Structure 1
Amino acid sequence: MAFQFFLSGEILYKRTHDATLLRCVDAEEANRLIQEMHAGLMGAHANGPFLARKIMRAGYYWLTMERDCIRHVQTCHKCQMYQNSKNAPPQYLHTMASPWPFSAWGMDVIGAITPKASNGHEFILVAIDYFTKWVEACSFKNVTQVAVTRFVKNNIICRYGMPEMLITDNASNLNNRMMDQLCQQFKIQHHNSAPYRPKMNGAVEAANKNVKKILSKMTETYKDWHEHLPYALCAYRTSVRTSVGATPYSLLEEAEWAQARYEQLNFIDEKRLAALCHGQLYQRRIERAYNKKARPRTFQPGDLVLKKRNMALSDSRGKFAPSYEGPYVVKKAFSGGAIILADMDGEEFRSPINSDSVIKRPGKRRKSVRTLPSDEIYHGYGENLGRGAIGKSNVESWTWRKLRYGSFDMKENVWGSRGGAQVYPSKHPVSK
């Protein structure tokens, strides 16, 4: 390997296979080259191997250049914020099975539907039983909290008994004081799915898709969909559901639709048990297929992460908005993949989010979130933070600004480790 290098005066060169000469640089110059080529005026924030080849084409070389370039790209904040979303699931599939009919219901709202129905309705409130896949639905002009509680009483409790569990999303019309009082009155456990993650209530989302598909093929004037809703529900209930291997009608009424009503009470339990076994086998098959694509990512309290930006929210940057926002600190991590985040000031998020909405941010784990009081200003000297302190009488000569995260730095030189404040010199800095 030594024959590839030679000295020309005081400069070391490397001779490549195509007889090109590359000037060897030290660690300080290598770091400057990486920063300039990656994020400089003509930098394209390329990946690590491409960045190393770009530096080599410019005529520079050092032994660990590709490894250093990859490490620099992994810690680049802009590259982290604008990277593509990870499609591989971060957790294995967690299936949920209902132990008996009508013990667990999922509920969601379809709409607003355009065009409106001829009677002014533009919403459909849908509920599905997790065991039999039986669907109840009604159309509304506005899905108010009164309409939701009346729907639960009339279409679920009074028809099929009191459920053990009710799963909804985080919409305000499904989560309010009237709903809490109803669940408390009938001893119903009300659970919420993670925000912006409809997969957690997948049964009702699948029912919504199928109901909309059936309605779209039944409508003629596109404003008569409310008249076809009962027929769409009948078609859904009398169709074989793949997840249970039977029709919801047969599991509920113990006989197929339009058949003679015979006394088959001795066989209904057998059919329901067969449906339960079929559903468990179906879930295992789906779980195996799902877990093949999963790339488990574990999170621990104190980890720094970036959260996927909600594309439904408007952003003034438009197409140039980053894919992620942050960083945030993992406050709590649960075994099912849910995590609770906090911002860099320590304020926790109200609702947990799923781990597939976040990615780890390279960096040391944050033990605690700390900020400095506004009446205390510090400056560093070299790498030793706080060797000297600026008195309060000199505060007017400096500017203090609180950041969500950052370092103690002056101009471009980082003087300390991660903290909660940043000090900038004014036109008349204080002498040391």
Structure 2
Amino acid sequence: MFALGLVPQARPPDIEPPPYSDFPHTAHARRSDAQLSRVRDFLDNPKRPAGLDERQWIAFYKYATLFMLDSAGKLWRHKEGGAHRLVIPEERRPSILVEMHDRTGHRGLFATRAFVCDRFWWPQMGSDIDWYVHTCHMCQIRQVVRIHIPPIVPEPTAPMYFAHARCATTSWVEGRALLSETARTLGEWLFQDIICRWNALSEIVTDNGAPWVAACTYLADKYHLHHIRVSGYNSQANGIVERPHFNVRDALFKATEGDGMHWHSSVHTVLWADRTSVCRRLGCSPFFAVTGSHPILPLDFKEATYLVGPPEGILTTEELIALRATALQKRADAVDCLRSAVYAQRLQEAEDFESCNRATTRDFDAQPGSLVLTCNTAIEKSLNRKMRAQYLSPYLVVSRNRGGAYILSELDGAVFDRPIAVFRVLPYLTRRDPIAFQPNVLDTDSRRIRELEASTDKGDGIADAEMAEADR
């Protein structure tokens, strides 16, 4: 024998609808609700209301003919085809929206509006449905909208340091403009530009700076280099690089026509000019000493003449390097053509990006004290994310840092330890009055808040403090 039975169904949770007074209403909507009560009285007792002139009476009568009153005292709105709609009083409208939205699977705006508008009617019902659906907490945390930021390329930060190395035998120079002088940046440069290019070194001589010592000590242990450190009062011991560094520095200044703020734009041309210039102690250029062949300059491809004016007399080494660096920079025709093509392509891609993401490219500019949602990035690559919340909420906006990222806190005042990127934040639409922001409830002192605000972290990478700690 088999017994058939029904699977017990879970009782849906009780949902308390928000009071209708919390719904945003225009003056026209309030006048329309007041007009409904006069229409009901007129249909119950068809007499001309007092205080109406002829024009107002005609308009009122035409409006009243759009409704009818049944024997049970219910007010209906006429609709073509006989599918009349029940007029809902103010106190029952929130419960209708709860049943038609929350109890029917939290359908979107179109489905909820179709459910309600096919059966019921009240003034400005479209705006009420729109507000209720957009302020639904469950719908907000499950939305899959991704905000795109405008395709604005930030101005790059100018390098502040120049790392310089030179071969003791051939005087071949290697260098790189650096944003910061840390063990990490110096170690990457030594490994990429020297060890990977010229094989392991037998000996390296540096000054006694802490970043150089840390970088070279690691490389010495890994690649068995003999690291020699010169003392601060005996810099002449590293004169092979100290003296030519003065020439390279002056050549950088002269190659940029005295614009010392953009010296980094001429690093490659100055280094190439230094490598191809004849060294007095060698009798040949470092390029010839390393490769065994004379260098071919861009002027050799164009014409067998200099691309700059001839010198008026004997040149110094610095002037000769600067002169050849200037000659290398005069590849204007091909470079300008290529730059124009690349720039036109970038403009086209930016226009295509804006056109494709016009609806989601927005800057909400949440102010301090605003409630926001944050994208649940922990589930972006997980396989079981379908039943997980797409956004976490709500959080309180404290301020924004120099990089534009938001500094957020929990509702109890616990401040996040790092900023959140702009494109991961959406405004949270609340059905009640916004929370009054009070800085004194934050669990972080003002000094830490100022540090977060001064940070340029855009919210996607490692925080500035962690980067600095990693560099050490």
TM category, shorter: 0.3 to 0.5
Structure with more strand by fraction: 1
TM-score, normalization by structure 1: 0.46
Larger radius of gyration: 2
TM-score, normalization by structure 2: 0.43
